[in-house]
């Protein structure tokens, strides 16, 4: 089981930089959903076994900051259906709704 998000961007993206940055994550998993033309959709998964890891908070904060603020991705929490706003990033780990 896992907690899931999707990230979407409709601008050109350097996939080498994206791959390098996202493979630095050890607790969060990423997978391509759609890569076509100038559009990119990624799946983001946090395995429930990683939820108690003390490093998750920092990794999630850094990753969401990079995706949402620095790269301009629309990231949506698939449990709540809400987009992640920059103001949501601090403390996001504590607000994850685990079924």
Rounded distance, CA 8 to CA 99, Å? 24
Count CA atoms closer than 13 A to 62's CA, side-chain side.
Answer: 12
Question: What tens digit of pLDDT does each residue of 40-57 get?
Answer: 999 999 999 999 899 999
Among 8, 3, 5, 29, residue whose Cα is nearest residue 82: 5
Q: Residue 73 phi/psi, 5° resolution?
A: -75, 145
- pLDDT given for residue 53 in this prediction: 93
Question: What tens digit of pLDDT does each residue of 4-24 get?
Answer: 999 999 987 788 999 999 999
Question: What tens digit of pLDDT does each residue of 23-34 get?
Answer: 999 999 999 898
Percent helix, strand, coil in the chain (nearest 5)? 35, 30, 35
């Amino acid at each position: 089981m896992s907690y899931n998000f999707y990230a979407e961007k409709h601008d050109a993206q350097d996939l080498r930089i994206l791959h390098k940055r996202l493979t630095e994550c050890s607790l969060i998993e990423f997978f391509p959903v759609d890569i076509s033309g100038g559009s990119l959709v990624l799946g983001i998964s946090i395995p429930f076994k990683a939820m108690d890891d003390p490093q998750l908070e920092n990794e999630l904060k850094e990753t969401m900051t990079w995706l949402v603020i620095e790269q301009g991705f629309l990231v949506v929490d698939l449990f709540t259906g809400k987009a992640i706003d920059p103001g949501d990033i601090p403390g996001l780990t504590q607000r994850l709704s685990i079924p």
